[in-house]
Amino acid sequence: MNNTEKAWKAIGGGIAAPKGFYAAGVQAGIKYKDKYDVALIFSDVQAQAAGVYTRNIVKAHPLHLTQRHLKNGLARAIVVNSGNANACVGEFGDQAAFAMAEVAGMYLGIEPQDVLVASTGVIGVEMPLDRVLNGIRVASSELLDDVVKGIRGHKEMADEGAHRAALAIMTTDTTVKEYAYELPCSQGGVIHIGAIAKGSGMIHPNMGTMLGFLTTDADIPSADLQRILSEAVEESFNMVTVDGDMSTNDMALLLANGSSGITPEGEDRINFERMVKSMCIELAKEIARDGEGASKLMEVSVSGAKTMEDARKIARSICGSSLVKAALFGEDANWGRILTAAGYSGAEFNPDKVDVFLGELMVAQAGRGVMFSEERAKEILGFKEVHILLNLHDGEENATAWGCDLTHEYVTINGSYRT
C-alpha cells in the first residue's frame, strides 16, 4: 500500500472537513484553567456510525452509554471531555455520562440517544458535572453559530471550532492530532474524511487504544462502516504501544453522514477503505511519536512470518519492550534485546533464521550478530524516526507496529500525574 500512489490528498478543516460536520471546543475548567477540555462534534443530518472500544474489562462509564447508543448504528453528535475519565466512580458515573448526552441533545436539538460520549483523564474521581455541562452548553452555542454560517455557505469560516475540538480532547499530548483528506471519485464528486485523536499515556494494543474520532461525508451503511473501522483499527491503533497499559476509556468512532451524496463503489470503494486505514495509521503514528516523554518514533516492521498474527505479535512485543525502548533512548544498537523481545512475543518462528536491520543497516543475520559500523548505527538511532526491520524467512506475512523510546521524562510525567 505504501508503494502505490495515494488516490486522496491532505486538506485542512480537520474533523469538520466533511460536508455537514461541525465541531467546537471550549474551556470548561474541568481540571485546569485555560485548557480546552470539552469538545463537540455534530452532523447536521443523521449519520451512520461505528465504534471500537477498549478490551479492558474495567470500562469507563461513558463507554457503556456509547455502546448502548450505537446499537442502532446511528448518531449525530459526539461529546468529549478531557481532565476526568469518568471511570470507577459507581452510579454517579453512569448518571454523569447520561447527563452529558442529554444536555448535548437538548442544546443541539437532537435525541440524547443520538449523542455518543467519551471521556479521558484521571480515573476514580467524580467529574465536576456542573462545569462539564456548562461547557457543553457553551460549545453547543458556538457550534450552532457555525451551523448558521454553514447554511449561509461559509462553512470554512468555522474551521477554528474543529481545531479547538482537537485541542479539547488532549491530556498529556504535546501535539494536536488533526487531519483531513479528500478523495476525488471516479464516479464523480469528492468524498471527505476528517479525524482528531488523543493518545500519549496508557496506550497499548488490543483495544481502541486511545480516543480517535473520524467523520466522513461518504454514504455507507453502519454495518459496512463497522467492518471498515474494525479492520483499520487492527492495523493502526492496535499496533501502537507507548507503555503497555490498556486504558479503561479508549474508543474510536467513525461517523458517515452521506452528505457528499456519494456511495463509493468499485475502485472508489477500495480507495475509500484504504483512505480510512491510512488515516488511522497516520493518527496511530502520531500517537506513538507523541507518547509520554517520547523523544523519537519507533517503527518495527516484521516480514517473512508464517502468519500475520505472528508478525503482529512480534512487532508489538518489540515496540513494547522496556529494554528496547530504553536502548533506543540511549542510542545503543543492542539488537539482542530486539531478538529477545521477539522470542517472548508468543509467536512461532525459528530464531536461527532471523535477520535484523536498523534502517538499512544489517546488525544480525540468521539469528546472530554481524560486523556493522557502530558509528552508522548510532547515527540511525539518533534520527527522530527509527525503523527496525526483522525478516523471519519463515513465510509471506508481514506487519508493522509503532512505539517510542522510554525516557526520564516518562517517569517524571507518570510519577505525579494524579496530584
Task: Name the residues annotated as catalytic.
Answer: 209
Is 209 labelled as part of a ligand binding site? Answer: yes
Cell representation of residue 234: 487492527
List of E strands, 248-372: 251-256, 297-305, 355-358, 361-365, 368-369
Q: Which string of b and e fits 42-65 if b means at least 16 CB within 10 Å? A: bbbeebbbbbbbbebeebbbbbbb
Interface with its own copies (CB under 8 A): 55-59, 85, 87-90, 93, 122-125, 201-202, 204, 206, 243-248, 320-323, 326-327, 329-337, 339-344, 348-349, 351, 364, 366-369, 374, 406-408, 410-419
Residue identified by cell 462539564 is 132
Is 4 among the annotated ligand-binding positions? no
| Cβ closest to its own copies, residue 267 vs residue 374 | 374
34 phi/psi in degrees, rounded to 5: 55, 30
Q: Which residue has the cell 536498523?
A: 358
Closest distance to its own copies from the beta carbon of 47 (Å): 31
Q: Closer CB to its own copies, residue 248 or residue 259?
A: 248
- Angle, alpha carbons 288-290-295 (nearest 5°): 100
| CA nearest to 147, candidates 158, 160, 159 | 158
Question: Any known ligand binding at 198?
Answer: yes
Residue placing its CB nearer to its own copies in the complex, 184 or 351: 351
Task: Output 58 or 148, the one with its CB closest to its own copies.
Answer: 58
Q: Which of 248, 179, 175 is nearest to 209 (CA)?
A: 248
CB of 196 to its own copies, least distance (A): 24
CB of 303 to its own copies, least distance (A): 18
Please identify, using beta-carbon distances, which residue of 22 and 349 lies nearer to its own copies.
Answer: 349
Confirm or deny that 263 is annotated as ligand binding. no
66 is in an annotated binding site: no
Report which DSSP code applies to 306: S
**For residue 254, which of 279, 274, 235 has the smallest C-alpha distance?**
279
Binding positions: 171, 198, 209, 292, 414, 419
Binding positions for substrate: 171, 198, 209, 292, 414, 419
